[in-house]
Amino acid sequence: MSGVTEHAWPNGLKALLLETHQAPIVCLSIWYRAGSRDDPPGGTGTAHLLEHLTYKGTHRHPKGEYDRILHAQGALHNASTWLDRTGYHILIGNDRYPIGLELEADRMRGACLDARDLRDEIPVVANEIARNEDEPMAALFERLQALAFLQHPYGHPVLGWSQDLEAASVEGLRGFYDHRYQPGNAHLAVVGDFRTETMLAEITRTFGAIPPGPTPARRPVVEPPQRGERRFELRKAGRQELWAAAYKVPSRSHGDGYALDVLAHVLGQGRTSRLYRALIESGLAVGAGAENQATPADPFLFLVDADLARGASREKVEEAVEREIARLAREPVGREEIDRARKRARVEFVMRRDKVSAQAFLLGEFEATVGWRFVETYLERLSAVEPEDVMRVAGRYLVREERTVGHFRPTDGS
């Protein structure tokens, strides 16, 4: 992604700016290194709950004013919390972005965090948790994570455990906010129709006077080696029997990530993939996929999943998956197959940059984990992946002894 410039302020704030004058809009995004991995002990879901509470007003802008101001400007806004970060995003006209900067600068240190708002918001988040529980694949993956990571906080759900949500306090949220929502723990990613000199002046005007505050350091957490396969079965209401396996893979900064991305496409992406032929064309499954999910800052998971066909055997599905993985680990894929997989991976990455909002998200997300410059070199490194690399990572990482397997069996007899 050419044209990105990086800037820093004395209070620790960083900004990544990318001018693109294709449309008269600007995407402002601000990212805090405040994800579910940073939730305090006994306080899972704190980062996500705080995201909700920061929309409940500041001392300068009472509750509802943030939405009202942006709606009046014709702007769109959203926020999200994940493992390593919380991000806030505003898409706004190029003549109105100073308003968005003012609102985000105010949110950084001015949130009210009122006890009544907390009481009102807990049921809202509880409903999110319940919806996840009612979605079989989401529930299955949440348990895969929890069983795959016994020490690392990636094993905790982003939304938190229900008992921790019910015990949440304003004091706990305030402590997390004061610790994490600081300029030295944040970065802006701004993409769109602006002039860099003007944008820098506006960021200085709105954020520059905020005191530095603490810059929290993350304590390194290393998940102990997994010495054997872990399994569970989930029984809940549902219509589709599901199977999934999660394999431990290195973080995105590791050089094997590019070959793992290509492996995911060879194994389980598209109608020409190995799993499509082995599971769907054979009638064992109605859906199947593979994904290298290693975008967090620390080592994460490579996921293989299947939606079983009615009456299909879970054992036969698992055997078919294992055969395909074993074949990939001992035989280099053909030139045509790897070219097709690399092309699909390339298109997937390029499509993540097709809009200003997508570009801002990409820059901000990677800066929160492995650094934004990863975006500049990804396609070149991807193109260098060879069949031997795919064979090597399949044999190194997709092994039974280091995987976690989940099976969802509907209880309604379907």
Averages of pLDDT over each 10 residues, the chain, 414 residues = 92 97 96 97 97 96 95 96 98 97 98 96 96 93 96 96 96 97 98 97 98 88 94 92 97 94 96 96 96 91 97 96 97 95 92 87 95 93 96 97 96 63
User: Is residue 46 domain-shared with residue 174, that is, in the same domain?
Assistant: yes
Residues 16, 192: contact at Cβ < 8 Å?
no
Instruction: Give me the helix-helix angle, 136-148 and 115-134, nearest 10°.
Output: 100
Interstrand relation of 76-81 and 86-93 (parallel, antiparallel or unpaired): antiparallel
| Residue 219 within any structural domain of the chain | no
List the beta strands (DSSP E) in 84-195: 86-93, 186-192
Tokens representing 169? 């306090």
The confidence score (pLDDT) of residue 414 equals: 43
User: Is residue 180 domain-shared with residue 78, that is, in the same domain?
Assistant: yes
User: Is residue 286 domain-shared with residue 199, that is, in the same domain?
Assistant: no
User: Is residue 114 domain-shared with residue 235, that is, in the same domain?
Assistant: no
Ramachandran region of residue 57, left (φ > 0), alpha (ψ -120 to 50) or beta?
left
User: Is residue 262 domain-shared with residue 300, that is, in the same domain?
Assistant: yes
User: Is residue 196 domain-shared with residue 256, that is, in the same domain?
Assistant: no
The confidence score (pLDDT) of residue 313 equals: 94
Residue 244 lies in domain = 230-410
User: Is residue 306 domain-shared with residue 176, that is, in the same domain?
Assistant: no
Query: Of 39, 67, 46, 71, nearest to 55 (Cα)?
Result: 67
| Residue 225 within any structural domain of the chain | no
| Residue 372 within any structural domain of the chain | yes
User: Is residue 37 domain-shared with residue 103, that is, in the same domain?
Assistant: yes
Number of domains in the chain: 2
CATH of the domain at 104: 3.30.830.10
The confidence score (pLDDT) of residue 354 equals: 77
